[in-house]
Amino acid sequence: MPQRRVVTGRSQEPRQRFAEELRRLRSQQGITLRQLGERMGWDWSLFGKMEKGDTIGSPEVAEALDDFYGTPGLLLAMWELAAGDKTQFRERYRRYMTLEAEAVSLWHFAVSVLPGLLQTPGYAREVLSAGGLKRPELDQQVEARMGRRELLEGDDAPPFRTILSEAVLRTPLSDQGEWREQLQHVAEVAERPNVTLHVLPLAAGMHGLDSTTLMFLRLVDGRTVAYTENAHRGELIEANAPVERLQRAYDAMRDLAMSPTASLKFVLAILEEVPCEPST
């Protein structure tokens, strides 16, 4: 395997530096984005977004570009630096939040934690605390998350479909009273006309999204974008091809999930299992 070239200290802003290098290399080759897409076998719009810094793509794309441009290991190393740039991650998350507020419909899958749109203050506080947040930032983040719930309220609220892995509902909070409140809130929201809730039983087995929390946003211009998240990072995906692949995986998983009626009964059954707080 060829030895990687060293990325120099010029990379003060990793994502911007990565995008600049991609533009420079393509310009050096004298080809258009469409020509690059045709030769690489990827949607050319992905490379356009990478060159603008809107996305960094995947490590597989970076490796393929290294092969194409004859820069063994350089772009992959720069991709790794860009992927670890926390400032840029926050900027991309802020862009996602803006798009979420403007979306005309939303589809979601939760692999381990309830979506912020369904969380109660007690649930949000425990989840964010487990992630390492401390006061006063913790208080600010809980308040901000509660503000997001307004998106699903009112007559003009957008349609929202969520598929919850059974594991989400089997992982209680440390405070039983808070956990009861959270389950009651999920059951109440599930009965709103704009909300469709499914539960994916553990018995469904492995599927294409078994390690990925996912949200699709349908935008006013008809485009669909996706946001994927794991315990360490999130990524906003706007290129058509990867969004379509995620949609196919989502549709296949939805076929394995319980119906909305059965799902609500499942949530209520779990709620019955939670002990009531003793009277004083």
CATH code, 267: 3.30.870
Same domain, yes or no: 148 and 246: yes
Which of 252, 258, 264, 251 is closest to 200 using CA atoms? 258
Q: Is residue 192 part of a domain?
A: yes
Q: Is residue 2 part of a domain?
A: no
d(CA 280, CA 278): 6
What does the pLDDT average to over 10-15? 60
Same domain, yes or no: 221 and 118: yes
Same domain, yes or no: 198 and 133: yes
Q: Could you tell me the strand order of the sheet in which 224-229 lies? A: 195-200, 160-165, 105-110, 213-218, 224-229, 234-237
Tokens of 144: 């901000």
Same domain, yes or no: 267 and 141: yes
Q: Report whether 80 contacts 269 (CB < 8 A).
A: no
Same domain, yes or no: 183 and 51: no
What does the pLDDT average to over 19-48? 91
Same domain, yes or no: 44 and 156: no
Same domain, yes or no: 24 and 150: no
Please give the residue range of the domain that contains residue 82: 14-86
CA distances from 230 to 34, 62, 101, 217 (A): 32, 21, 22, 18
Instruction: Tell me what pLDDT residue 90 has.
Output: 56
Q: Is residue 245 part of a domain?
A: yes
What does the pLDDT average to over 201-217? 87
d(CA 43, CA 34): 8
β-sheet bridge partners, residue 110: 164
Radius of gyration of the chain, Cα coordinates, nearest whole angstrom: 21
Same domain, yes or no: 62 and 143: no
CA distances from 173 to 47, 99, 180, 254 (A): 43, 30, 9, 26
Residue 73 belongs to domain with CATH number: 1.10.260.40
Which of the listed residues 24, 53, 86 is the one where a domain comes to its end? 86
Instruction: Tell me what pLDDT residue 74 has.
Output: 85
Same domain, yes or no: 136 and 42: no
- pLDDT over 60 (residue 7): no
d(CA 75, CA 77): 5
Q: Is residue 3 part of a domain?
A: no
- pLDDT over 80 (residue 88): no
Q: Choose between 37 and 73: higher pLDDT.
A: 37
**What pTM does this model have?**
0.66
Same domain, yes or no: 49 and 161: no
Q: Report whether 22 contacts 50 (CB < 8 A).
A: yes
What does the pLDDT average to over 72-86? 75
DSSP-assigned states of every residue in 99-134: HHHH-SEEEEEESSS--GGG--HHHHHHHHHHTT--
Q: Is residue 9 part of a domain?
A: no
Which of the listed residues 86, 114, 131 is the one where a domain comes to its end? 86
- pLDDT over 70 (residue 167): yes
- pLDDT over 90 (residue 129): no
Q: Is residue 79 part of a domain?
A: yes
Helix or strand or coil: residue 238?
coil
> How many domains does one find in the chain?
2
Which of the listed residues 50, 66, 86 is the one where a domain comes to its end? 86
Same domain, yes or no: 74 and 160: no
Helix or strand or coil: residue 139?
helix
Helices (H), the chain: 14-29, 33-40, 44-52, 59-69, 74-83, 86-102, 121-130, 137-148, 166-169, 176-190, 240-254, 260-273
Q: Is residue 279 part of a domain?
A: no
Same domain, yes or no: 127 and 34: no
**Per-chain mean pLDDT for the chain:** 85
Q: Is residue 188 part of a domain?
A: yes
